[in-house]
Structure 1
Amino acid sequence: MSGLTLFERLSALDKPDGTNDTEQIWMIIRTFLGIIRVLIFVSIIVIAEMLEEIFIGNLSLAVWSLIVGIPLFVLLSTLIILGNKRFIDKSTKQEKTTVLRPIIKRV
């Protein structure tokens, strides 16, 4: 009828969730990498729009933000993907529930 009571929800928090230490540490690191990735993306846009007049080495600061920012963004994205493959346990992912012999014609 109704969902779980508040007491049941609080008692469920005391039970272990089945993740190991490396998974939990990776989840924390992945959160920070994601935040840094968003900050890099926003800073690329802000620097490219605001600081076009400043030149360093015959290139404007807008171009330098792209030269440095895009590889950093790709590097962080790659680290997140590789870390997920390495540290997240395969058994915690949802199992495929596809039917081996699907119904072709319904009666």
Structure 2
Amino acid sequence: MLITYSRPKDLNPQQLDPAAPAADLDPAGYECEAETVDVLGTPWSCTRRRAHTDDEHRAVFGQLGDGPAEAVAIAWAYEHGGAGHGPASPEPVHTITVTVTSSTRAP
């Protein structure tokens, strides 16, 4: 999992972050519901509309009170290619492998 956005801790709880991605909520309330746990151990569930067309999941604060109810608190992706790359995209994910070797003899 790759965290693509995390709300800055220094914002006032009701202040909107202009750098935050759009919440992309479904007007009918249907949610993607993909789940993750952040680095502090807080569980999150994707609140974006079902069948969103990229691989980025987003969770809004809702009733947690740590930010505006419909503001994105965290965004994550399972593909390292970034949003728009992976299973939902026709674009392939590119991987670079680096091999490092060193001498086994001490100088």
| Higher-Rg member (1/2) | 1
TM-score of the two chains, using structure 1 as the length reference: 0.26
TM-score of the two chains, using structure 2 as the length reference: 0.26
Question: Greater strand share, 1 or 2?
Answer: 2
Question: Greater helix share, 1 or 2?
Answer: 1
